[in-house]
Amino acid sequence: MKLRPWSWGSQSRVFFFLLALFTIPAAFASRLAVVDVDQVEVFEAPRRDAKVVGTLKKNTEVLASNHPTDNFHKIKTKDDLKGWVLADTLILHEIPEGAPERTMASDDKSPEVTNERVHHHKAEPNFKAKVFGGADFYNAAGIIRNFNNFTLGYDFGAEFHFILNPTFSVGLRGESIFNSANLTDSTSGNVFNVSISSLPILVGLEASLVDEDGFSIHLGVFGGYAFLTQVISTAVATSSAGTSSSGALTGLGKLDFRFRIFKVLGVLIEGGYRFLETPTLVAPTTGDGAAVFNSTYTINLTGPYAGLGLGVVF
């Protein structure tokens, strides 16, 4: 929340300020303010889990309470939208000398105020989390001889975010990617079960592109490391496995489309593109399953992905 020196240069602002002070009986102690962030949510009560009654664009002029309540200011717009916004989304004007002093109505549960300068109040931290699952479309060819069937995998995981402000959050994402298939080796006629898997752990930044009532779109960019990126080939007849394993740098870009179904709960559709490829590996030499590996290869899980999930805010 920032302060802007009071200027009497704008007659419309003065008229709006004085009209509000003298024509709204028992109103909250107020001053002019300007919204400093785009798409600011207006809540029915001074809580993040309260009902959202509207949104305000950046540079919208409002009347705001002189002092915050639980890091929220009560506001009123020229269109008579009333509610509560986070304190750090407003720029408050100083109270002009000689302006009448008033107190908030008793049912607003706000303290009596004076014409002292209002200082910045940091909003309380807020968090969001989600769980998801989906499909990965890649082409992990060249690992097993005469076998190029690894083009579709599955993933599930979770994200946990710390909300920096109404637009940005930083997040931690963990996933498990997996797939398996049976193949018959054309050389020996033996049957093998081949599985491929990886455990990416990533950190990133997410931005809110659209935030309407009940619907939002978010863009995220993440980077990290894929642990235990491996291929296991098991000879079905002997249950003897050959394993090739490595780690890999990984990154992804994604879009989330979120639909709120309750105050703190929503469903989401997620889609994006993932980069994940190991360095060049050499075929394992132990286990009957090692017989079907090519001599050298990379485990490449790069490609688009899509999924569904559930998200909560708290």
- Tell me what pLDDT residue 119 has: 39
**Rg of the chain taking only CA atoms, in angstroms:** 29
State the Cα–Cα distance between residues 101 and 99, nearest whole angstrom. Answer: 6
Pairing of strands 215-235, 240-260: antiparallel
Residue-range domain boundaries for the chain = 2-108, 126-313
- Tell me what pLDDT residue 99 has: 52
Fold match between 2-108 and 126-313?
no
pTM of the entire predicted model? 0.62
DSSP classification of residue 51: P
CATH code that applies to domain 2-108: 2.30.30.40
- Tell me what pLDDT residue 97 has: 59
- What is the residue whose two structure tokens read 């402000």? 165
Which residues of the chain, if any, have pLDDT below 50? 1-3, 5-11, 14-27, 101-125
**The one-letter amino acid at 243:** T
Q: Tell me which residue of 99, 85, 87, 91 sits closest to 40, measured CA to CA.
A: 85
3-state secondary structure of 250: strand
- Tell me what pLDDT residue 135 has: 95
Q: Where are the beta strands (DSSP E) in the chain?
A: 2-4, 30-35, 40-43, 52-56, 61-65, 72-77, 82-86, 90-93, 126-137, 152-163, 168-184, 191-212, 215-235, 240-260, 265-276, 281-282, 296-297, 303-313
Q: What's the chain's average pLDDT?
A: 83
126-313: CATH topology? Porin (2.40.160)
- Tell me what pLDDT residue 273 has: 97
- What is the residue whose two structure tokens read 């785009």? 38
